[in-house]
Amino acid sequence: MKRFLVSGATGRIGKRLAVHLASQAGGLRLLVRDRSRMPVLPFSECVQGDFDDMNSMAAAFDGVQAAFLYTPAHPDPRLIQLAVKQGVQHVVLLSSASVVKVSAADNPVARRHRLAEEAVLEGGIAWTFLRPDMLASNCLSWAPSIRTERCVYVPFPESQRNPIHEDDVALVAAHAMVSGHLMGRALSLTGPSCLTIAQQVELIGQSTGTTLRCVQIDTEQAVHAMSSGPSAVPMEVARRLVEYMRKTTTTAPEISPDFELAMGRAPRPFADWVADHIVDFCPYPN
């Protein structure tokens, strides 16, 4: 019986992948950092561990044939070496489209994901790389201002995006782990079409039955907002994200066929993602 490991099992993609794999015939092991947040799924066991703790990862990898790993903040080649030692045969790595869109030498996000991919390649293990461009779930950062002010603050409302539903990413990961048909493939994952930020906000408004505004702010305000708070990113990363938003006001990001080629259907539209997350955008009852 094939056994699977899902790291980040409480994350947006990991928890959906766990649900898809729980319906399969094989065994399922879920890796989480916080034992109190362990999900309860049929035919699964939960273990606590961290990529920086090799002892915990040795136990997590033991007896597993296919493992889903996300790119850690500080990729360590020893993690893949340990997976090979423990008998893992196939790694499905959640990477990023940044590795092929920008220079890893100049971009810290691309550099981190490139290092993770290189560690897998050098580990001598079968692999599948999933490279989402823009996750629709990034729009959840707008939820607080939508709930309280009915607006979204962005520097470039006409910035174009190709958002993919996190469940579609999880579906590809599950297919790769169960079938093995995507070994040796690096898939660029996007939604079915490009939308401007203003169009995304409008769709959220239509679904919630409210009129939402896209309020344009200057770039320094945007950088400050991205580099502060609980979901803060480093200042350098924030500046590059804002610059990319500026660029995509005139240059639309590509739409990849990889999801449809792998799964036999088109990825779900952004409106479906909004419908699945409508509660996140609705005002809290008084």
Domain count, the chain: 2
Considering the domain boundaries, does residue 15 fall inside one? yes
Check pLDDT > 60 for residue 259.
yes
Considering the domain boundaries, does residue 171 fall inside one? no
Considering the domain boundaries, does residue 179 fall inside one? no
- 151 and 52, same structural domain? no
- 218 and 92, same structural domain? no
Considering the domain boundaries, does residue 150 fall inside one? yes
Q: What pLDDT digit, counting tens, does each position of 42-61 carry? A: 667 888 999 999 999 999 99
- 114 and 62, same structural domain? yes
Check pLDDT > 70 for residue 41.
no
CATH at 233 = 3.90.25.10
Q: What pLDDT digit, counting tens, does each position of 213-255 carry? A: 999 999 999 999 998 877 788 888 899 899 999 999 999 999 9
- 105 and 62, same structural domain? yes
Considering the domain boundaries, does residue 172 fall inside one? no
- 125 and 88, same structural domain? yes
- 8 and 106, same structural domain? yes
- 118 and 52, same structural domain? yes
Considering the domain boundaries, does residue 249 fall inside one? yes
SS (H, E, C) the chain: CCEEEEECCCCHHHHHHHHHHHCCCCEEEEEECCHHHCCCCCCEEEEECCCCCHHHHHHHHCCCCEEEEECCCCCCHHHHHHHHHCCCCEEEEECCCHHHHCCCCCCHHHHHHHHHHHHHHHCCCEEEEEEECEEHHHHHHHHHHHHHHCEEEECCCCCEECEECHHHHHHHHHHHHHHCCCCCEEEEECCCCCEEHHHHHHHHHHHHCCCCEEEECCHHHHHHHHCCCCCCCCHHHHHHHHHHHHHCCCCCCCCCCHHHHHHCCCCCCHHHHHHHCHHHHCCCCC
- 152 and 60, same structural domain? no
Residue 231 belongs to what domain range? Answer: 136-161+192-253+269-281
Considering the domain boundaries, does residue 156 fall inside one? yes
- 277 and 156, same structural domain? yes
- 196 and 88, same structural domain? no
Considering the domain boundaries, does residue 263 fall inside one? no
Q: What pLDDT digit, counting tens, does each position of 91-125 carry? A: 999 999 999 988 767 788 899 999 999 999 999 99
